[in-house]
């Protein structure tokens, strides 16, 4: 699902204009991005949590030349799936998989 599909689905389910749905989706995403920029975590019960992980600077090797390079420290967003979402996805996946075919017994004369 891409952002435009999310906006369309919100518009249809909430029976609102697509432009209003777009504003709502953008507002939620902007609030989440701003919280992560500030270093705050985001927890959505039943869905998961977002946080920023800090990575220290280090030295590494350039893959083409083999020369030593300095890798700057960085911050990256990290998502940890919630138990309820994980269970729902696994439950749906189990219910949608076809049942294995039963093997017929083979008699050996």
pLDDT tens-place string over residues 54-68: 999 999 999 999 899
Strands (E), 8-63: 42-44, 48-55, 58-61
- What tens digit of pLDDT does each residue of 18-74 get? 999 999 999 999 999 999 999 999 999 999 999 999 999 999 999 999 899 999 999
- According to CATH, the topology of domain 47-95 is HU Protein; Chain A (4.10.520)
- Record the pTM: 0.71
- What is the Cα–Cα distance from 29 to 2, expressed in whole angstroms? 13
Can you give the residue ranges of every domain in the chain? Answer: 1-40, 47-95
Q: For residues 70-107, b (16+ Cβ closer than 10 Å) or e, as one string? A: eeeeeeeeeeeebeeeeeeeeeeeeeeeeeeeeeeeee
């Amino acid at each position: 699902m891409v952002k435009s599909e999310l906006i369309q689905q919100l518009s249809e389910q909430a029976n609102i204009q697509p432009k209003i749905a777009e504003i709502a989706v953008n507002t939620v995403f902007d609030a989440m991005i701003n919280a992560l920029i500030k270093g705050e975590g985001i927890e959505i019960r039943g869905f998961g949590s977002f946080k920023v992980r800090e990575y220290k600077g280090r030295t590494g090797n350039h893959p083409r030349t083999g020369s030593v390079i300095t890798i700057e420290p960085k911050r990256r967003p990290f998502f940890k799936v919630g138990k309820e979402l994980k269970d729902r996805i696994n439950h749906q996946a189990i219910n949608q998989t076809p049942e294995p075919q039963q093997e017929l017994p083979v008699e050996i004369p």
